[in-house]
Amino acid sequence: MKSVAAAAVDTRSRVAVLISGAGSNLQALIDACASGALSAQVVVVVSSRTDAGGLSRARLAGIPTVALPHVGFADRDAHERALVAALEPCRPDLIVLAGWMRVLGPTFLTRFGSRTINLHPALSGAFPGPNAIARAWAAFQRGEIDRTGVMVHRVVAEVDAGPVVAVCEVALHSGESLPDLTARVRAEEHRLLVDAVGLTLTGDVPDC
Ligand code: GRF
């Protein structure tokens, strides 16, 4: 006689992570899910680059991956439609932009904007766009600022702007090299992103 075991249902929140690079922030999320620090599972990793190091991290963790470079698509909207089509079957509760280097427009935002957060390695309103850490470092050398930071925010049409979920300041030190500052900011990113995902999933942050 065959015994029939009930299939275990995974009730953890379903998180999709969008990346373009090395994926160190993705790794922080994978580790937090594995340790139970986050009651969540990364259900898919989408990369805008085929050579992103984060894809290997995802595969190593057994997470499905999709490489979706924009090259070959007719326009931005066609690429976004493909992104939405890749995410839909994964039924994400939350989408995390963790070093995703593509601006997202109405097609994505209409479908998933209310459940998407973005990591920005600077304070709210400061240095939107790429190379934020280097631009903050250079501004400090010119005496324009004395601190930078990291923020996680809900995604709106404006780049690196939107209601803040979590933020932390990083003091700037005289004589510190850009690589050393980058390492300090990255460490804060890894910690803050895990916190922000937890806050968002537990509903401690209002919807936008
Ligand atoms: C992070 O600094 C993120 O804030 C920025 O790009 C970097 C991605 O790093 N937008 P990684 O791919 O998570 O290592």
- Tens digits of residue pLDDT in 16-72: 999 999 999 999 999 999 999 999 999 999 999 999 999 999 999 999 999 999 999
Number of domains in the chain: 1
Interval 95-136: pLDDT, tens = 999 999 999 999 999 999 999 999 999 999 999 999 999 999
| Cβ(25) – ligand 1 distance below 6 Å | yes
In a domain, 126, yes or no: yes
Structure tokens at 132: 């934020």
List the domain range (segments joined by +) for residue 176. 13-201
The protein residue with its alpha carbon nearest to ligand 1, atom 3, reads 99
What is this structure's pTM?
0.94
CB 35 within 8 A of CB 197: no
Look at residue 19 and tell me if it is in a domain. yes
173 catalytic residue (yes or no): no
Confirm whether 165 is domain-assigned. yes
Residue 19 Cβ < 6 Å to ligand 1: yes
Task: Output the furthest CA–CA distance in the chain (Å, rounded).
Answer: 78
207 domain residue, yes or no: no
In a domain, 28, yes or no: yes
28 lines ligand 1 (CB under 6 A): no
Is residue 91 in a domain? yes
Q: What's the CA gap between 107 and 139, in Å, rounded?
A: 35
Here the CATH number for the domain that contains residue 147 is: 3.40.50.170
Residue 192 lies in a domain: yes
How far, in Å, from the CA of 149 to the mean position of ligand 1?
A: 13
Q: If you measure from the C-alpha of residue 3 to the centroid of ligand 1, how many angstroms do you get, rounded to a whole number?
A: 48
With respect to residue 6, please indicate whether it lies within any of the assigned structural domains.
no
Structure token digits, residue 119:
């990591």
Q: Closest residue (by CA) to atom 10 of ligand 1? A: 99
In the reported structure, the alpha carbon of residue 131 is separated from the centroid of ligand 1 by a whole-number distance in angstroms of: 10
